[in-house]
Structure 1
Amino acid sequence: MALVKKGSRRITVDGITYRWRIRRRPTYCQALLWSPLTYAVELADSPGSTLVVTTNQSHPNNWRIESASAVVPSAVADGIRSAQANGWTPEKPGSPFHLDQSEGFFPSSY
Structure 2
Amino acid sequence: MALGRKGSRRIVVDGTSYRWRLRRRPTYGQGLCWSPCTYAVEHAEHPGTTLVVTTNQPHTSNWLERPSNPVLPSNVAEAITAALQQGWVPTRAGSPLHLDQSAGFSPSL
Report the TM-score when normalising by structure 1. Answer: 0.96
Q: How far, CA to CA, are the matches of 1:20 and 1:89 in structure 2?
A: 16
Deviation at 1:68, TM superposition (A): 2.3
Q: Equivalent pairs: percent with the same residue?
A: 62
Offset from partner CA, 1:35-81 (integer Å, 9 cap, x none): 00000000011101000000001101110016421000000000000
Residue 14 of structure 2 is aligned to residue 14 of structure 1: yes
Structure 2 runs not aligned, ≥5 long: none
Structure 1 runs not aligned, ≥5 long: none
SS in 2 for 1:64: coil
**1:56 counterpart residue number:** 56
Aligned length: 109
SS in 2 for 1:70: coil
SS in 2 for 1:84: helix
SS in 1 for 2:78: helix
Q: How far, CA to CA, are the matches of 2:29 and 2:38 in structure 1?
A: 12
**2:77 counterpart residue number:** 77
Residue 64 of structure 2 is aligned to residue 38 of structure 1: no
Root mean square deviation of aligned Cα: 0.9
Consecutive aligned runs of 4 or more in structure 1 exceeding 4 Å deviation: none
Q: How far, CA to CA, are the matches of 1:66 and 1:80 in structure 2?
A: 27
